[in-house]
Structure 1
């Protein structure tokens, strides 16, 4: 099986490469820095700087995860343009390239996020729920999904993965929390009542592999554990795992002053559940937050 990945050098992409290399799959990664692909993704991974390098060689599946980190810096007008281009513009290029190919892959798995729903408050959000808030992150995800869905007209099965907060020891949002928590400066954000839809990296990799191979799956899937938690509970549990107190709150007004519009991403949340994944027969390895963090604790 030959799989093409965009965003293959990111947290999820690197883990997917290791997973599929172990299965003996052929992997190609589109990257702006092809010289680093083998180092980050594995010796058996082929790096391409432009899609045209692949010619017309057969590709069975495309995994589209490329996108600049959304929470790394404030959302200035320039930063918003980067976030948009790295997702929507790249996906437009990918779909146009797929249209030009004689042999087309059977499936396109394209990234998205639970931010698609906006700040959902107390509503339980399944894949059938509409967006509930009008913010930049929601607009970004909606446009990203709509662009990827154009591949359906080419006869390609399109799967949209709305990822929650990925728990991993190798990076991601958890790595940003470690220093303050280890220094006993961790705690809830704002009032701590916002919902956090989380997922262990092992389940994230397993569900993408599941969706690639389940021919009956298409459309959006919430990639998060069945039991989201409130921010205050998350902070308390992480503190317990790290054997540190977690009672120092980060006031909402500090975030608003320091981060501007980006603060909405941290002060809001989604009570998202993976209804369609469970209905499709996917089994999560980690459904309890404490168990998930305990699994990662030795490497944190």
Structure 2
């Protein structure tokens, strides 16, 4: 009795169009959920086995690839689901496809930019040019835009700049990409001292502060190579320009440089090393 009731219930369900459509939608949702789990695990396995500079790079790569594949599979699943629903509604898919083909040709002429964006997005992700969480500078549509990558799809890149503004950039419009957080970053600091400064003394103070900072419990995890004196970089109107350089964790160059300058300013004050202001010499002539 129970078996017959179950069979009759299933027969009733599959004989009714609305029920069929409901089941199709449920199956599409289930398929999307399973694809999400499978893609996430597969990408973690693939990226984990490739050579990556560190765990942070691997995590960014995983997030970016997972999102792209999930989006592509989701689109495919729902296209199939819609076609099945149309078939269940007894709509002639062949005739619809013929009309859609003509419409597609018309739309195609106006969708060239979108196709360009999609192809560019695939290359950006496949070539690992930048990932979600990276800090980048993009030259697009004749202007430079810098910020943190919040999202990448196969059509657009979304950046948030330092002021909190969100920039939506079509991938096809990006001409030059500068990634400021790939593997490592350099701290490149110009330091101006007075002309009467003992350069050797200034060099020792700079190196001492760089070494001290790299050993600090708060900062040492972010510093790969201590900031050290590099060279005398030039002679300005009222000062000698020195250059110091170090290697740090990606996206930490600004924080490390700021802390180095703060400590160096105090050290220069203690060591009586002058950081000169720009000076203008004015000559006056006495009337005869």
Which TM-score band (shorter chain)?
A: under 0.3
**Greater fraction helix:** 2
**Greater fraction strand:** 2
Larger RCO, structures 1/2 (Cα 8 Å, 6+ apart): 1
Larger gyration radius, structure 1 or structure 2: 2
TM-score, normalised relative to structure 2: 0.24
